[in-house]
Structure 1
């Protein structure tokens, strides 16, 4: 079967896609928590810095961000390898959107929780770690799952800065063979399979989070 001839190249592209997407999701999640917590708990200066980061990366095109990091920054002496550029830009983009998820979840914790924390003589950091984050994390997980899958889909744009990911290899194979239907169908299946695996992983993490410490859930109830 002719379609099997395309599989080795597309599989190598899918591996590159995973190697870019997974670190980007992990770094983006860390940035999301840092920026989101800074917006809520960081004081005026940190809150403004986090707000500027969030609005810049949410308010500009991811494609333009990729081109700016890859083509514009070298003109001022800052150079990144293509794969590093892809990971960095995807992470910054995901972190900006994720920070709003974190901020919204933290802000949704009820006033009664602060009263319970004061009754227990908790400081600000203790309240954040032991009261707010455990409850907010449960609320964040579905949105973070969607963000992870969206980051996977957006990773196809890194093909435009010469990274041989799944989309790049599909386009190369199509240019050589003109077999658009077969190649792009296999590419769709590849992205769907990776999305399905990522979705299952995120749901597993969500279940683990929901089985977390009993105290915050009891306080919430």
Structure 2
């Protein structure tokens, strides 16, 4: 367990760092994808399609192995892993942001225009608060995918959970026990992400005067009775 706990700390650091970077990229790029300017939309689309259309493992190898050959600068392996995860999942998150913004009812925008709000004010006070509620469930899935993708960092010898587990197996530890512990730890970390995102979703829904889907369904059942 001490070895696996050390690996879990590295996995958690990678997941948190990659998540912060992915969200920081997803929001502006997703908004760029909704721009009325063709050049801005094209730049966002190039980034999104490139990083979604190539393997995160290949991107990781490029950042850690190929970039030093081209630039002469070697990235720290943990930083390279966080960068690869953030760039890859940020592309998927950008599509989530774009879809959530597009899903805001047209009438809300027309009402904001009628109130003489500027484009920035419409985005800040009308569009984003409502779009954020729609972003949370798919973002939850993406963050869990990012957590699981941290296991790829062992390919560049980052001592994460998967790497420590493989070392234990190679040193003669019982494979069944090691892999069962790995499954349990990954599951617990994933469930913590789900609990956190459910809390965020509930708070965001209350801010805009909505109820979460499960609560709306329960209310409808009670009304039918």
| Same fold, judged at TM 0.5 (above) | yes
CA distance in 2, matches of 1:49, 1:138: 26
Match for residue 30 of structure 1 among 24, 28, 40: 24
Would the aligned equivalents of 2:93 and 2:142 in 1 still touch at CA under 8 Å?
yes
1:63 matched to 2:57? The reply is yes
1:43 matched to 2:37? The reply is yes
How many Å apart are 1:83 and its aligned residue?
0.4
- The structure 1 segments of at least 4 consecutive aligned residues displaced by more than 3 Å after TM superposition are none
| Corresponding position of 2:103 | 108
1:174 matched to 2:159? The reply is no
Deviates more, 1:123-132 or 1:35-44: 35-44
Would the aligned equivalents of 2:63 and 2:80 in 1 still touch at CA under 8 Å?
yes
For structure 1, which runs of at least 5 residues remain unmatched after alignment?
1-6
How many Å apart are 1:30 and its aligned residue?
1.3
CA distance in 1, matches of 2:192, 2:136: 16
Structure 1 180/40 Cα, relative in aligned 2: closer, same or farther at 3 Å?
Answer: same
Q: How many residues align?
A: 209
Q: Map Cα deviations across residues 50-92 of structure 1 (whole Å, 9 max, x no partner).
A: 1111001100011111111111100012421000001111011
For structure 2, which runs of at least 5 residues remain unmatched after alignment?
211-225
CA distance in 2, matches of 1:188, 1:213: 38
TM-score normalised over the length of structure 2: 0.90
TM-score normalised over the length of structure 1: 0.91
How many Å apart are 1:110 and its aligned residue?
1.8
Would the aligned equivalents of 2:130 and 2:208 in 1 still touch at CA under 8 Å?
no
SS in structure 1 at match of 2:122: helix
Task: Give the superposed CA RMSD.
Answer: 1.2
Structure 1 16/209 Cα, relative in aligned 2: closer, same or farther at 3 Å?
Answer: same
How many Å apart are 1:179 and its aligned residue?
1.9
| Corresponding position of 1:121 | 116
